């Protein structure tokens, strides 16, 4: 019961793998073309887009490896399973993305003080090809990004890169038509700014999962209050609410049974588990029942003392 809301996970993993293979291949090929084109044309914005694209390719490799690892079942070493591999991969991807953006800011500021001419036509042509590849890659990973923080990180890499390609095309046109060389480092700053905004906005959720924070949308105090309202429950303490993976909230708690109703302990526990699953979507719960006479003394309601 209560697991119906997870059904969107069960997509064909092999089809997803084939999409990832394709996305990784075209991104590596594009990165090489952009770096060569950026050096030949003298465009920092094109090189910035290439570096971002390289991070796309690497992020897809990491995301792909994490997907493979996450499918492994729990064992004696990893008793919770390997699902968090995807969360760790997302953290690595966002961190590298943020560091890359700071590097681009540094390079762009230097270029303002030491301007160099760039070949507008080459910039426009290579950035145009890059835009097509970015959009194809984004399309390949979009469906999977809906159900995975890991794939979403890779998808957002690509979306940002598509916008970067548009900005580079604008810079190339400005150089061709008006001879505005300063547009190139300006566009680089814009790409870097967008990467920073996106990276900092998304990394919070990943850190929350790794820090075992309560899942977004679930209020631990509200859940404890609901538990205490279950028939036969005197009080609840030592409650912990977290998520092992992106879509799997879990809870553990000590539950004090009303005095004189210990014979109903199993039925009370069953009622709690049904309520947790149906009302809050918490499919995994570990409950330690205590009789009222031997309950913990002065316990903390949330967490351990």
Between CA 239 and CA 223 the distance in angstroms is 9
Domains and CATH numbers, the chain: 4-210 (1.20.1510.10), 220-294 (3.30.70.1350)
Q: Classify 286 as helix, strand or coil.
A: strand
Q: Mean pLDDT in the chain? A: 82
Query: Taking the CB of residue 150, how many other CB atoms lie within 10 A of it?
Result: 31
Between 124 and 247, the more confident residue is 124
Residue 305 has pLDDT above 60, yes or no: no
Taking the C-alpha atoms of residue 280 and residue 141, their distance in angstroms, rounded to an integer, is 29
Q: pLDDT of 70-92, one tens digit each?
A: 888 888 998 888 888 878 888 98
* Closest by CA position to 276, among listed 229, 238, 226, 232: 226
Q: Are strands 233-245 and 248-257 parallel, antiparallel or unpaired?
A: antiparallel
Q: Which residues pair with 235 in a beta bridge?
A: 256
Contact present, 280 and 218 (Cβ < 8 Å): yes
Better pLDDT: 22 or 217: 217
Asked if the model's pLDDT at residue 272 lies above 50, the reply is yes
Q: How far is CA 304 from CA 80, 209, 225, 235, 299, in A?
A: 21, 19, 18, 15, 7
Alpha helices in the chain (DSSP H): 13-41, 44-70, 85-113, 120-145, 149-178, 183-210, 220-228, 265-280
Judge contact between 197 and 159, C-beta under 8 A: no
DSSP character at residue 146: T
For residue 105, pLDDT over 50 is answered with yes
The residues with which 289 forms a beta bridge, in sequence order, are: 255
Distance from C-alpha of 5 to C-alpha of 277, rounded to nearest angstrom: 10
Residue 267 has pLDDT above 90, yes or no: yes
């Amino acid at each position: 019961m209560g697991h119906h809301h997870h059904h969107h996970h069960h997509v064909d993993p092999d089809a997803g793998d084939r999409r990832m293979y394709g996305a990784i291949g075209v991104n590596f090929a594009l990165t090489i073309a952009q770096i060569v084109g950026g050096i030949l044309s003298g465009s920092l914005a094109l090189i910035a887009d290439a570096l971002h694209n390289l991070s796309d390719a690497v992020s897809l490799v990491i995301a792909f490896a994490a997907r493979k690892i996450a499918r492994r079942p729990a064992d004696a070493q990893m008793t919770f399973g390997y699902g968090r591999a995807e969360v760790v991969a997302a953290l690595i991807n966002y961190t590298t993305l943020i560091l890359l953006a700071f590097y681009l800011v540094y390079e762009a500021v230097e270029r303002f003080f030491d301007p160099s001419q760039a070949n507008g036509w080459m910039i426009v042509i290579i950035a145009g090809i890059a835009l097509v590849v970015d959009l194809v890659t984004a399309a390949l990973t979009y469906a999977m990004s809906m159900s995975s923080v890991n794939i979403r990180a890779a998808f957002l890499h690509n979306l940002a890169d598509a916008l970067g390609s548009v900005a580079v095309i604008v810079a190339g046109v400005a150089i061709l038509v008006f001879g505005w060389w300063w547009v190139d480092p300006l566009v680089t700053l814009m790409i870097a700014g967008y990467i920073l905004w996106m990276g900092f906005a998304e990394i919070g959720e990943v850190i929350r999962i790794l820090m075992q924070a309560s899942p977004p949308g679930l209020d631990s105090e509200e859940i404890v209050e609901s538990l205490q309202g279950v028939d036969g429950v005197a009080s609840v303490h030592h409650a912990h609410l977290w998520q092992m993976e992106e879509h799997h909230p879990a809870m553990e708690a000590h539950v004090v049974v009303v005095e004189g109703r210990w014979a109903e302990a199993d039925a009370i526990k069953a009622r709690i588990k049904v309520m947790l699953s149906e009302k809050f979507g918490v499919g995994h719960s570990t409950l330690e029942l205590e009789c009222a006479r031997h309950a913990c003394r002065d316990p903390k309601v949330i967490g351990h003392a």
